[in-house]
Amino acid sequence: MKGSFITLEGIEGAGKSTCMAEVLTVLKTAGRDVLETREPGGTRLGEELRQLLLGHKHTGMHEDTELLLMFAARAEHLQQRILPALHAGRWVLCDRFTDASYAYQGGGRGMDMKRIQQLENWVQGDVRPDLTLLMDLPVELGLERAGKRSSPDRFESEALAFFQRVRKAYLEIARREPQRVQVIDASQSLENVQAQVREVIQRFLEQQA
C-alpha cells in the first residue's frame, strides 16, 4: 500500500505539537508506519539551515535568501527523507511544508507568489501533500499562547500585522483547495481540537481504504 503525505500548518501558538501527537496516535493505532519530521529541518543539513533561518545571527537576511534557504532545506528533505519514505510505503507526517512558504514569505513578507510557485515546481516536481491540517485561530490568541514560551525566534519576533497576513494567506490556500486543506478551529479547548483532528484523520484513513 502506498504511503500518504500529511502536513500540519498554522501560525505561532496554534498548537501544532498537540495536533502532531494526535495525528500520530491515530495513524499508529491504525497500524501505519509513520515518519515524523519537520520543516525547515528534517535532515542534518536542513536542521543547520533551520538554525540560520530561525536564529538571530542573520536578522537582516534578505527575503530572497530566506525563501531560497527554505527551499534548499526542502530539496534536501524531500530527496533524502520524504520521497524514500513514501516510496517504501511509509506515511510521512511533516510539521510545516510549502504552504508555510506561501503564508510566511508570500503573505507575511509580501513576496511574489509566482516566484514561490516556480520554486515549488522546480524542487518538488508534482509532489504535493495528500492532506494538510491547518490549525487556525485568531492571531492575538496564538501570539498570547506562543508568548508563554521562552525566547522568541526570528519569525516569532515579527509584529501582529505580519501574522495577520500569514493567517490570511493560509486561509486563502484552504479556500482554494478545500479537499486537501482541512481547517481545524484551534481556538477551542484542547479536547475539542484533538477530537476535530481525530475526525479528519479517521475520515482520511477511510477514504484511503
Stretch that binds ligand TMP, among 99-107, 121-129, 131-139, 167-175 (CB under 6 A): 99-107
Among residues 80, 155, 171, 208, the one that binds ligand TMP under rule CB under 6 A: 155
CA dihedral 171, 176, 178, 184 (to 10 degrees): -10
Stretch that binds ligand TMP, among 57-65, 96-104, 117-125, 181-189 (CB under 6 A): 96-104
- By CB under 6 A, is residue 92 in contact with ligand TMP? no
What residue type is 113 in one-letter code?
M
Interaction mask 37-66, ligand TMP, x per CB under 6 A: -xxx-------------x------------
Q: What does residue 180 show for φ and ψ, rounded to 5 degrees?
A: -75, -40
Cell 496516535 sits on residue: 25
Stretch that binds ligand TMP, among 100-108, 131-139, 177-185, 197-205 (CB under 6 A): 100-108
Cβ(132)–Cβ(184) under 8 Å?
no
In a 10 Å sphere around its CB, with 0-12 CB exposed, 13-18 middle and 19+ buried, how is residue 152 labelled?
middle
Residues in touch with ligand TMP (CB under 6 A): 38-40, 54, 70, 95-96, 100-101, 104-105, 155
